[in-house]
Amino acid sequence: MEETFLIAGLGNPGKGYAATRHNVGFMVLDRLAKRLGAAWEMNKKFAAHLAKGSQDGGTTLLCKPQGYMNLSGQSVVPLAQYYQIPHGRIMVVVDDLDLPLGTVRMRPGGGTGGHRGLDSIQGLLGKDEFA
């Protein structure tokens, strides 16, 4: 059975935010979509830009919510529910101002660190079982 993974990149929509550190989630997903050969499409149902790619027998669903970051859960959680993606197959890419620029940290679960976008997702999921 093919596994589906959801990777959400958080940021804020609009040209004023496009090249800011706060939009690193969008930037990472743009690079990933390019590597997967996936095209972005606006999905009004989930208020997000979505792209889908396949690799190693699995499907990767990419999501860039188009509301403000502190409301990201309103796009990410219904999308995960619609595609029946278990919490353990959801990854969220965000900026972390506590880390030096260019540093990447993978943290499966363990709280939001006060990040409002992660707070929104965790609040609607009801768990922190996502990376």
pLDDT in tens, 22-73: 899 999 999 999 999 999 999 999 999 999 998 888 899 999 999 988 999 9
Task: Catalytic residue, from 22, 49, 87, 115: name it.
Answer: 22
Strand order in the sheet with 58-65: 41-43, 48-55, 58-65, 4-9, 90-93
What is the per-residue pLDDT for 18? 86
Could you tell me the two tokens for 44? Answer: 């009004």
Active site residue 22: yes
Question: Which architecture characterizes domain 4-125 according to CATH?
Answer: 3-Layer(aba) Sandwich (3.40)
Domain ranges of the chain: 4-125
What is the per-residue pLDDT for 32? 95
What is the per-residue pLDDT for 116? 81
pTM: 0.89
What is the C-alpha to C-alpha distance for residues 16 and 58, in angstroms, rounded to an integer?
A: 35
pLDDT of 131 higher than 60: no
